[in-house]
Amino acid sequence: MAPSPAPGPDQAAERALVAVVADWPVVAARIAGDVGEGGTVGAGDTAHVGEAPDGAGPVVVVHANRVVAASGAARAAGVTVGLRRREAQGRCPAAAVVTADPAREGRTFEPLAAALDAVTPRVEVRHPGEVAFPTRGPSRYFGGDAALVHRVAGVLDARLPPGVAPGVAVADGTFAAGCAARSGPAVVEPGASAAFLADRPVGEAAEHLDRDDAREATSVLARLGVRALGALAALPAPDVLARFGPAGELLHRLARGLDPRPLATRRAAPELAVAVELDPPIDRTDVLAFRAVALADDLHARLARDGRVCLRLGVEVETDHGERRRRSWRHEGGLTASAVAERVRWQLDGWLDGPAAERPTAGVTVLRLDPEEVTAARGRQLGFWGGETRIDEEAARALARVAALLGPDAVTVAEVTGGRGPTDRIASVPAAAVDLGARTVVRPGPTGPWPGRLPPPSPALVPASPVEVELRAADGTAVAVDGRGTVSAPPARLGRVEVVAWAGPWPADERWWDPDRARRRARVQVVLADGTAHLLALEGGVWHREGSYD
């Protein structure tokens, strides 16, 4: 078994910088304010960033009942990624549990990616929490790799919450750079990537590829005794390809310090770009996302005709006042039309939520999708059990058809938001603006800081706008609730129907710090003589029916 020949100059990996914010879901939840007031969050698990000063408030982010990210304090208590939710709560009872939300993570990451535009225009978002760009130009401009790392870390640091530090590193290829960003050192010298990676487990390369066949190959390799990347690199490339197919080849390339596919430094095919002029200008992100689906469908059809799939897509929006924002999105499996729409939405939401000086001042007039990197389509196998199935696709198609018939606003899906009342806890989002095939489990559970929320059971009917009603006491006067949360008299009649039982009142004084959005309400539940039960709210001296327990 002869060691593989050293890579020739033509296939050497391009030097790249990778910046990682460890446990981005946790940081995103904190930025978005979904973690309780005491929830300080730190990324204290990367060795070279120094200890995060988080004393209290461990946070755990879960998806499908499994931990996907945990704050430093939670990790210190023994919480690891992949743990069951219950077990994580058992190990760290104080942890605030937040449900993973890709939209929140994408939206909150956008300002960071935008900040890096000042360093280089070629920033690509690998996923929220991780960016990469080729360093050839920027490194020379800023005076070497170490200086560039310092600069990028400074730019990101200024925009991250205190206590969270990014990991930044330069190496040959994004995989080596990503490993170095997580564990150090900041700079891996040219040609030293293979040696740097030699002791790392093969599984890390499989995770970088995010391919199931690569994970399978990893477990077979482990049983054959090949656990470290150095051992894999020592195997002859043709033999690895013969035994493990394309996944093995990619793993082997990574192990040798090469990029599976180099980051594109030249424009792939400018003639493939599609754009749409919007007249009148669009100022709503969901409407824009709806247009993006149609545009992405068009792009996919053109690419599919040539047997190609887009790995990296540039999304560019331009407003009526000439403000422009461009972002590159990468997905190893190719981006579907609805995935494109979702990223357009993240990008716009992030822009709108960003610093006031950079916010757009007019509606969007141009939306351009530019496939920056395309590769041959190898086809996609739909899942037989679970995963992406034909049924899901069929349902998504039918919904798109209905949306075309009735308008994008008529077909909505639920997204969980924070709140206390039945209408506050769920927001309706146009189905066209989300990736229906890849939605996370949304369940309005006991997450978030919402003391005073209605416990289950919740009203089964919730009128879109609360209906005004009259709630009177036995003597005919309107029932009032004083500042101490007691009623003037027990309710006796709702309209003309007698009240037979009641519960409450529960005062809720929300957003008292914001005069425009402050609301003071008191809620009661009443059971009427006809057997129906209702949730009523008193606001400004007027009773409303917020929901019915039908």
Partner 1 sequence: MFDTGRVSARPRPEIPLAVLGERARPVTLAAERALPVTSVLAPLLPDGGLPRGATVGVHGPGATALALALVAAASGAGSWTAVVGADDLGLVAAAEAGLALERTVVVADPPPAAWSTVVAALVESVEVVLVRASRRVAPGEQRRLRTHLRRRGGVLVRLPGPGIWPEDPDVRLRSVRASWEGAVATDRLDGAGRLRRRRLVVEAEGRGRAARPRRLELWLPGPDGAPAPLVTTPSTTVPSTTADLPNPTVTATTDGRGTRWAEVG
Where in 435-474 is the site for partner 1 (CB under 8 A)?
A: 439-444, 446, 450-464, 474
Q: Which two tokens stand for residue 322?
A: 């000439």
Contacts of 372 (CB under 8 A, 6+ apart): 264, 267, 268, 312, 313, 314, 328
Q: Looking at beta carbons only, is 307 or 485 nearer to partner 1?
A: 485
Strands 96-99 and 59-63, by their bridges, are parallel
For residues 137 and 120, is the Cβ–Cβ distance under 8 A? yes
Question: Of residues 250-279, which lie at the interface with partner 1 (CB under 8 A)?
Answer: none
Q: Looking at beta carbons only, is 329 or 502 nearer to partner 1?
A: 502
With CB under 8 A as the contact rule, the residue among 265, 401, 470, 511 that binds partner 1 is 401
Q: Which stretch binds partner 1 (CB under 8 A): 93-101, 233-241, 330-338, 399-407?
A: 399-407
With CB under 8 A as the contact rule, the residue among 198, 231, 241, 413 that binds partner 1 is 413
Q: Looking at beta carbons only, is 402 or 518 nearer to partner 1?
A: 402
HEC string of 245-268 equals HHHHHHHHHHHCCCCCCCCCCCCC
Q: Looking at beta carbons only, is 148 or 416 nearer to partner 1?
A: 416
Question: Of residues 484-513, which lie at the interface with partner 1 (CB under 8 A)?
Answer: 486-487, 489-492, 499-506
Going by C-alpha positions, the residue among 89, 112, 120 that lies closest to residue 161 is 112
Listing DSSP states for 376-392 in one string gives: E----PPPSSSSS-HHH
| Residue 541 vs residues 262, 484, 509, 520, 524: alpha-carbon distances, Å | 66, 15, 15, 10, 14
Q: Which stretch binds partner 1 (CB under 8 A): 210-218, 271-279, 374-382, 524-532?
A: 524-532
Q: Looking at beta carbons only, is 166 or 422 nearer to partner 1?
A: 422
d(CA 373, CA 371): 6
State in angstroms the smallest separation of the CB of 297 from partner 1: 18
For residues 401 and 410, is the Cβ–Cβ distance under 8 A? no
State in angstroms the smallest separation of the CB of 214 from partner 1: 27
State in angstroms the smallest separation of the CB of 403 from partner 1: 9
Q: Looking at beta carbons only, is 256 or 420 nearer to partner 1?
A: 420
Q: Looking at beta carbons only, is 241 or 413 nearer to partner 1?
A: 413
Q: Looking at beta carbons only, is 85 or 506 nearer to partner 1?
A: 506
With CB under 8 A as the contact rule, the residue among 405, 516, 517, 541 that binds partner 1 is 405
- As beta bridge partners, residue 277 has 366
Residue that is written with structure tokens 């020379």 in the block = 140
| Residue 310 vs residues 314, 329, 331: alpha-carbon distances, Å | 10, 10, 8
With CB under 8 A as the contact rule, the residue among 525, 537, 538, 543 that binds partner 1 is 525
With CB under 8 A as the contact rule, the residue among 65, 219, 428, 477 that binds partner 1 is 428
With CB under 8 A as the contact rule, the residue among 410, 497, 518, 542 that binds partner 1 is 410
Amino acid code (one letter) for 215:
R
State in angstroms the smallest separation of the CB of 438 from partner 1: 9
With CB under 8 A as the contact rule, the residue among 275, 406, 518, 542 that binds partner 1 is 406
Other Cβ atoms closer than 10 A to 188:
25
Contacts of 530 (CB under 8 A, 6+ apart): 497
Site string for partner 1, 327-366 (x = CB under 8 A): ----------------------------------------
State in angstroms the smallest separation of the CB of 512 from partner 1: 16
| Residue 458 vs residues 29, 113, 281, 413, 462: alpha-carbon distances, Å | 26, 40, 40, 19, 9
| Residue 15 vs residues 113, 137, 144, 263, 507: alpha-carbon distances, Å | 19, 10, 12, 9, 60
With CB under 8 A as the contact rule, the residue among 42, 163, 173, 422 that binds partner 1 is 422
HEC string of 498-523 equals EEEEEEEEEEEEECCCCCCCCEEEEE
Site string for partner 1, 369-398 (x = CB under 8 A): -----------------x----xx-xx-xx
Contacts of 386 (CB under 8 A, 6+ apart): none
Site string for partner 1, 110-149 (x = CB under 8 A): ----------------------------------------
Q: How far apart are the first and last CA of the chain?
A: 73
Tell me how many residues contact partner 1 (CB under 8 A). Answer: 73
State in angstroms the smallest separation of the CB of 492 from partner 1: 6
Question: Of residues 74-113, which lie at the interface with partner 1 (CB under 8 A)?
Answer: none
Amino acid code (one letter) for 474:
A
Q: Which stretch binds partner 1 (CB under 8 A): 12-20, 157-165, 261-269, 424-432?
A: 424-432
State in angstroms the smallest separation of the CB of 473 from partner 1: 9
Other Cβ atoms closer than 10 A to 530:
8
Q: Is 402 in the site for partner 1 (CB under 8 A)?
A: yes
Question: Of residues 296-325, which lie at the interface with partner 1 (CB under 8 A)?
Answer: none
With CB under 8 A as the contact rule, the residue among 123, 233, 364, 411 that binds partner 1 is 411
* Burial of 418: CB neighbours in 10 Å, binned 0-12, 13-18, 19+: middle
| Residue 367 vs residues 103, 279, 295, 318, 341: alpha-carbon distances, Å | 20, 11, 9, 7, 11
